[in-house]
Structure 1
Amino acid sequence: MKIALIAPHIFMWDKVLKDNIFAPGDQAILLADGLVSRGNEVTLYSAGPVRTKARNVHIDLQSIEEEVKKHGNLPELIKSDIETFRKLFKVIKLEILAMAFAQSEKFDILHVYITNGHEGPIFSQGLKRPILFTLHDSFKLNFPNPESYKLIKNVKFSAISDNQRSQIPELNIVGTVQNGIETDKFLYKGKPDKYFLSYGRIIKPKGVHHAINVCKKTGENLKIAGLHYEGHGGDNYWSTKVEPHIDQKQISYAGYIKGQINKNKIFGKAKALLFPIEWEEPFGLVLLEANACGTPVIAFNRGSVPEIIKNGINGFVVKNEKEMIEKMAIIDTIDRNKCREYVEKNFTVEKMVDGYEKLYTRIIGS
């Protein structure tokens, strides 16, 4: 198949990806490379150059880089001038979509793998090729009038979890393909150290404060790893709910973890990953990464969590802090080897690529 894989996002270039948490970007590259390895002709459209086996087409970012340099770097721009960031984000998104759509007849199918907002589906109305949109956030936030998209005959959507799919049954969602990881990059560790782990973006919806609470109540050690966004758009979650509790003894902050070796260490040595989210997260990739290192997960029953975590096998699904504390006490009953095996069986890149290939074939055939 000739496939256009489109990732219209400002973070979608190596210079930015390496210093930011942006799972959809990493997944897009894994999908592109997986499709190429199966003999497909893939063109990956991105903001800037990315390392991929696919043919990579990107826009001219000179003017964007000049604007970013005025603020130092992209994170500082987001922090100091969110409106300018939003304008640049939209310009980049529209330019990538326009470039890909203009070349649409070169392909059998177009797949906008990172969908933000309604512009893509609307602007695709005149295309003569089928087009698939995948969203990594909430459908409700991006498509307030889902029934209107049924009028665009060539546009179809795919979800990354059944929970995400259930949010808007009116949308023309033709399949669910869950994310996958390169399990061979994650090292299994059978015997953990004496700490629990909170890993990811340090924002209120991720519930880091719940992880702090349960560890303080139980006397357990907690390591927090990830980026905080203090001052970004008025955010003060870090300074009010997290930082005051950090003593670098019981509650410690490891910063943003760079490199696979360091990620393996912090995951593999944890007794469990605590994932007390406060929102309907479509897919928690960090759950797979922890499991691949043999680390079980204790997570709140929100979003796609029950699709990924199976009680007593690779962790526990709980309702609240009280239940989380109860499961922390019996976390040693989880066989860490079974955690690894569960990911290898259900959440590999190969399985994800299989899912999209089958979906493309079905869409093209219809």
Structure 2
Amino acid sequence: MSRRLRIAMIAPPWFELPPRGYGGIEYMCSYLVDSLVDRGHHVTLVSSGENGTKAHHVRTYDTPQWRRLGEPMPEVRHAASVRRILDSLDVDVVHDHSLVGPLLAAGRAVPTVVTLHEPVTGDYGEYFRLLGDTVRLVAISEAQRASAPELNWCATVHNGVDPAGFRFQRRKADWVLFLGQCMPHKGMHTAIDAARAAGVAIRIAAKCGEPAEIEYFESEIRPRLDKDVEWLGEVGGERKKALLADASCLLFPIAWDEPFGMVMIEAMASGTPVVALDRGSVREVVTDGLTGIVRDAAADLPNAIRLAAQLDADHCRKAATDAFSSDLMAERYERVYEAALESGHR
């Protein structure tokens, strides 16, 4: 693409970019922003807290609002701030990752692209159905898009990472890893049970601070902890990268139709195969028998863990580099922006 664009990238208000620990949307935005800047575009990132990206930055909150997750006001105030900020900017396109922000798209003279990061069911799907053609929607997997084909989709763009930013390692440890959020739909208890049945130790790195997360931990996880089940809490940065590189496999036994799953491609970039249950986008990301083992039932996971130990780390790394790089993600979003501009507002 020869045209250099002025892009306003709107992140949610909960975590800074890149996040210090948990934050899949924020990691994705960070990779996208940096790759777009590297490709010659001028990106203004609107977010809360400090900025660790290459973009010009305007903040809506001095500190990230993660302690208020679940409250409506941080999102509402964030959107109101974004409106004022955009009035002072000269941009070609707005790319919004927030929840409330797309409500304001109809009043803009430039097109708004919205990446949907949640399952498009229930109120969330109905919300974007009601917004109609005021926003151009991007799915992060074909599985997500297929669940609500009537929405105003303009593209499907898989999330990406910068493989060079991860520690590639062929020699693996003798334990498996769960990395994510301490919630039932992420399948942490299933991961523990599968590792125990396979006779391997498991390390668990997970966000656990909200009331629902703590309740799940106390009822389902704490009773399962022992010498072979190590609780690490929330991790980020180099510690996270070291865990991903060392693990013999990443366990991803989700119990919901997750639209994507950044941790899968982060593991692959580290040369680590993924053992997953076949829900949501899993088969779009993991190639069974090559970059991981995908099964239909939790009862099949212990054997899948054993099989994953035989997979080639180089195949995992190559898949992350060839199919899920942040540069490829940025290239695909360039096409989305260009199509939005060619079609005019909306």
Whether TM exceeds 0.5 here: the answer is yes
Counterpart CA distance in 1 for 2:12 and 2:251 is 32
Distance 2:315 2:61 in 1: 47
Task: Tell me how far apart the structure 2 counterparts of residues 234 and 52 of structure 1 sit (CA, whole Å).
Answer: 29
Equivalent residue runs for 1:150-169 within 5 Å: 150-152=132-134, 155-169=135-149
CA deviation after TM superposition for structure 1 residue 211, in Å: 0.9
Output aligned runs, 1:29-108, within 5 Å: 29-59=30-60, 61=62, 77-78=67-68, 86-103=71-88, 106-108=90-92
> Which residue in the other structure is 2:235 paired with?
257
Letter paired with 1:289:
E
Distance 1:264 1:6, change over 3 A: closer
Deviations 1:322-356 (A, max 9, x none): 22122223223311211111111111111011010
Is the CA contact 2:60–2:78 (under 8 Å) kept in the aligned structure 1?
A: no
Code of the residue aligned with 2:35 in structure 1: it is: G
Q: C-alpha distance in 1, partners of 2:236/2:108? A: 41
> Is it true that 1:12 corresponds to 2:13 in the alignment?
no
Q: Which amino acid aligns with 1:26?
A: Y
**After alignment, is 119-128 or 188-197 more displaced?**
119-128
Distance 1:139 1:96 in 2: 26
Contact 2:269 2:316 in 1 (8 A): yes
Query: Take 1:192 and 1:160, find their aligned partners in 2: how far apart are those partners?
Result: 30
CA distance in 2, matches of 1:38, 1:342: 22
TM-score, length basis structure 1: 0.86
Conserved in 2, the CA contact under 8 Å of 1:9 and 1:92?
no
CA gap of 1:304–1:235, structure 2 versus 1, over 3 A, is same
In the alignment, structure 1 residue 306 sits paired with structure 2 residue 283: yes
Instruction: Identify the residue that residue 316 of structure 2 maps to in structure 1.
Output: 339
Report the AA paired with residue 125 of structure 2. Answer: F
What is the alpha-carbon distance in structure 1 between the residues aligned to residue 248 and residue 98 of structure 2? 36
Residue 350 of structure 1, aligned match among 327, 332, 342: 327
Measure the CA separation in 2 of the matches of 1:13 and 1:38: 19
Cα pair 1:146 1:168 within 8 Å, conserved:
no
- SS of the residue corresponding to residue 217 of structure 1 reads helix
* Distance in 2, Cα, partners of 1:188 & 1:13: 23
**CA apart distance, 1:13:** 5.8
Q: What secondary structure sits across from 1:49 in the alignment?
A: coil
Q: Secondary structure at the match of 1:133?
A: strand
Go from structure 1 to structure 2 and tell me whether the alpha carbon gap of 1:189 and 1:241 turns closer, same or farther (over 3 Å shift): same
1:226 is paired with a residue whose SS is strand
Q: Does 1:109 align with 2:93?
A: yes
> Which residue of 125, 133, 144 corresponds with 2:126?
144
The answer to whether the Cα contact below 8 Å between 1:306 and 1:317 also exists between their aligned partners in 2 is yes
Count residues with an aligned counterpart. Answer: 338
**Structure 1 CA distance for aligned equivalents of residues 241 and 133 of structure 2:** 47
Is the contact made by 1:8 and 1:94 (CA closer than 8 Å) also made in structure 2? no
Asked if the contact 1:196–1:272 (Cα under 8 Å) also holds between the matched residues in 2, the reply is yes
Matched, 1:124 2:105: yes
Normalising by structure 2, report the TM-score.
0.90
| Aligned positions of 1:163-242 closer than 5 A | 163-229=143-209, 232-233=211-212, 235-242=214-221
Identical positions, percent? 30
Q: Distance in 2 between matches of 1:228 and 1:301?
A: 25
Residues 121, 269 of structure 1: alpha-carbon distance in 2 compared, 3 angstrom cutoff: closer
CA distance in 2, matches of 1:234, 1:184: 32
Q: Are residues 195 and 305 of structure 1, via their aligned partners in 2, closer, same or farther at CA, if it must alter by over 3 Å?
A: same
1:264 deviates by 2.8
Q: Give, in whole Å, the separation in 2 of the partners of 1:21 and 1:278.
A: 19
Gaps of 5+ in 1: 69-73
Matching residue of 2:248: 271
Report if the CA contact (8 A) 2:60-2:82 is conserved.
no
TM-superposed deviation, 1:235: 4.8
* RMSD of aligned residue pairs (Cα, Å): 2.2
Specify the SS of the correspondent of 2:104.
Answer: helix
Alpha-carbon contact 2:33-2:53 (below 8 Å) kept? yes
Asked if 1:364 is matched to 2:333, the reply is no
Please report how far the alpha carbon of residue 250 of structure 1 lies from its aligned counterpart in structure 2 after TM superposition: 1.3
SS at match of 2:254: coil
